[in-house]
Chain A
Amino acid sequence: MALVDVHGLAFSYPGDEAPALADVSLRLEPGEVVALLGPSGSGKSTLLRALAGLVPHFHGGRFAGSVLVNGLDTRRSRPAALAGTTAAVFQDPEDQVVMALVRNEVAFGLENLGVAPGEIWPRTEEALDAVGASHLAERRTAELSGGELQRVCLASALALRPRLLLLDEPTSQLDPEAAERFLGLVAELGGTTVLSEQRTGRALGLAARVLFMEGGRILADAGKGDGLAWLAEHRSHYLPAQAHLERSEPRGEGVCRLNGVRFAYRGGPEVLDGASLDVRRGEIVALEGPNGSGKTTLAKIAAGLLEPAAGKVWRAGRAGYLSQDPGRYLVRDRVVDEVALAVGGDRARAKAALERVGLGWAAERHPRDLSSGERERLGLAAVAVAEPDLLVLDEPTRGIDPDRKAEIADWLTEYAAAGRGVLVATHDRTFPVDRRVSLGREALLAA
């Protein structure tokens, strides 16, 4: 008997005319690992939520068809009743953490499910151990990095011993090595797993089956071999990309130079210890390094948002900075006003910037009505509209589908070609750049 049986599923969110899911049917057998691919807004997250019972119970909306998970009809069983059979890890770990201490966080789900008190701590320890996070047990969740929190969220899911594990871009905040380890753990679990990822190489490396969604429909549902062939023929951007080769020599007139920069956050250890960096006009420079290596800090110093404790910073002209997760930091009630903020309310320039990132249609909408991928592009437009000489972007491809990523890369190439410098702090080695510099844990940077 299939673990999951979805038949003729259609769903629209409240107030939306366009369906988020349309005529979706699929069966998942025990032990299957499925890569769920597709562009932003294609319905991947909605499908995962439907499998967890959160659609329609939590979100409301119009629901047709049926979803059976382990024999339970999700229309009749609330998500809480499905918990334990299913477990989900969503994209942003900060939005999932309930408790103040890590071990209490992992125990939270077990307590909710009524697990015998004597079993709770052993299962908590077992789950933390499985994700290599035993050392975090006594730490406060508020003090953990995004990568550490993602591991804690996975431990919280694993502690429930679910038959169906639903992962919605669970490695979006991890560096490549940590992401590999994370997915390696998932592979070892052996349960049924549905993994939605925008960095498709990771998901395809793990999965035996590929689902591709677009416009709320499943366009392809095949084993790995046939799935890859389908992608090669129809959606080649989704095939695992090779690391982008780049020119190695700096060129052009300098726009930003950091020399021997040191920095420590108040009361914390030194994050940067003598880092140096050189960005020239006309080039895109990638700033790489593992989680916690100081990429964001160095990017903020380059943009003038932080002052180093020691070292020299030289910048020609203005700098603009796009933070990680910019969709969370939107401050105006209309999309066009959000972009116009940086240009003294010039709506004509704002609309032109929105057109360039493909959001001209959304000018009069509320920014929080946009999807997460659209918000990322809105953030980019809001920073780039003022055409700063140095554009600093922190993880701009997080949560962006391969098609949009290619568009952003083209756009940034044009931006740099106009005589400006671009610095991109990223884990994404497939993002095309002119030069890469690595920021190791020892915080020494080779420019």
Chain B
Amino acid sequence: MRLGSGRRAVRLAPVPAAALLAAVAAAALLMDSVLALAVLTAALLLLCTQAHARLRPYLFGTGTAALGLFLVWPFLQSTGIDVIWEGPIVPVLGQLDVTWEEIELAAVSALRLAAVGLAFSAYALLLDHDRLVASASFARHSALAVALATRLVPTLERDAGGLAEAVRGRGVKVDGVRGHARLLSPLVAGSLERAANLAEAMEARGFGAGVPTRAPGPAWAAADYAALAVGAALVLAAVLWL
């Protein structure tokens, strides 16, 4: 994962990068300060922009969820005395009103969600997962299974699109849940076929031949140790002051 841009960019090894992102997500969940959360979210957003177009679906998902939470939260709470809007009485929910305190709590919750979502986006989009799972010095086969599953998600997505398109190309509409559900079985069958082909290709490339070696990962630089320290400090600060 790369922090910054141009000549001054710092490249982090996968393990410290993952640890830093996990610490950032944990700190976001522990913080109560709107300002600190906003700064953290902005920093994560800036980091995620390295992924360019691939960020869009993640940004859409995170943004929609955070905005939805911000809008709904005040109506699910009944706290504060500084009323800024007084609404009708709704059965079951009672009096609808919004206070400044509720807005602030809604902002905290929405920013927490946004920060955690963006930390996950950075993990999914910017990390070298192959090397991250390879860093586990045990359970090599399980680590490889995780790497394969990560890689095959976009393939599965493409296959699902291809199936729907193939049917539409024959003049048959693919509508609604039922229409798409009918494609589930061929999608699974296609995935199994892919899995068998992949297993064959792996065997042909020596998988299981004997004792494997591992390509050396980049040696940890000062920035990697600094990332671990920053992550720990962030969690501590969130607990004590933020």
Contact = CB atoms under 8 A, between A and B. Distances in A.
Chain A CB within 10 A, most for which of B168, B215, B216: B215
A234 interface: no
Interface string A334-356: 00000001100000000000000
Given A112-B207, A112-B209, A115-B213, A54 B200 contact: yes
Contacts of B186: 329-332
A1 interface: no
Chain A CB within 10 A, most for which of B52, B202, B204: B204
B128 interface: yes
B175 to A, nearest CB: 15
Contact of A100 (B151, B170, B203): B151
B215 A109 contact: no
B129 interface: yes
A138 B168 CA distance: 36
Contact of B215 (A111, A143, A332): A111
Contacts of B211: 114
Interface stretch (A88-96, A424-432, A434-442): A88-96
B205 A109 contact: yes
A383 B170 contact: yes
A402 B170 CA distance: 26
Interface in B170-227: 170-172, 182-183, 186, 189-190, 193-194, 197-216
A323 B215 contact: no
B197 to A, nearest CB: 4
Interface in A376-422: 379, 382-383, 386, 388, 392
A120 B131 CA distance: 14
B143 to A, nearest CB: 12
Chain A CB within 10 A, most for which of B147, B200, B208: B200
A111 B213 contact: yes
A329 to B, nearest CB: 4
A117 B205 CA distance: 17
Given A266-B56, A267-B53, A58 B130 contact: no
B169 A321 contact: yes
A368 B206 CA distance: 28
Interface stretch (B84-92, B97-105, B159-167): B159-167
B185 to A, nearest CB: 8
A117 B214 contact: yes
B207 A326 contact: no
Interface residues of A, number: 71
B79 interface: no
A326 B216 contact: no
A341 B200 CA distance: 33
Contact of B166 (A49, A109, A329, A392): A329
B64 interface: no
A113 interface: yes
Interface string A68-96: 00000000001111011011101010111
A117 B134 CA distance: 13
B130 A101 contact: yes
A114 B56 contact: no
Contacts of A120: 213, 215-216
Interface in A113-160: 113-118, 120-121, 124, 141-143, 156, 160
A318 interface: yes
A174 interface: no
Given A79-B203, A107-B215, A109-B206, A141 B170 contact: no
B6 interface: no
B195 to A, nearest CB: 9
A104 interface: yes
A15 interface: no
Given A266-B56, A318-B171, A382-B170, A80 B130 contact: no
B209 A83 contact: yes
A331 to B, nearest CB: 4
A110 B215 contact: yes
Contacts of B166: 323, 326, 329-331, 379
A95 B215 contact: no
B147 A124 contact: no
A98 B198 contact: yes
B150 interface: yes
Interface string B103-126: 000000000000000000000000
Contacts of B128: 100-101, 104
A14 interface: no
Contacts of B95: none
A100 B200 contact: no
Contacts of A284: none
Given A54-B203, A95-B194, 7 more contacts: A78-B208, A80-B206, A100-B129, A113-B212, A114-B209, A121-B216, A320-B169
17 contacts: A80-B209, A94-B194, A97-B198, A100-B150, A101-B130, A104-B128, A112-B206, A113-B210, A118-B216, A141-B151, A267-B54, A267-B56, A300-B165, A329-B163, A331-B183, A342-B172, A368-B193
What 4 A-B pairs are tightest by C-beta distance, nearest first? A267-B53, A321-B169, A83-B206, A112-B206
Interface of B: 52-54, 56, 128-131, 144, 147-148, 150-151, 154-155, 159, 162-163, 165-172, 182-183, 186, 189-190, 193-194, 197-216
Interface of A: 49, 52, 54, 57-58, 78-81, 83-84, 86-88, 90, 92, 94-101, 104, 107-118, 120-121, 124, 141-143, 156, 160, 266-268, 300, 303, 305, 318, 320-323, 326, 328-332, 341-342, 368, 379, 382-383, 386, 388, 392
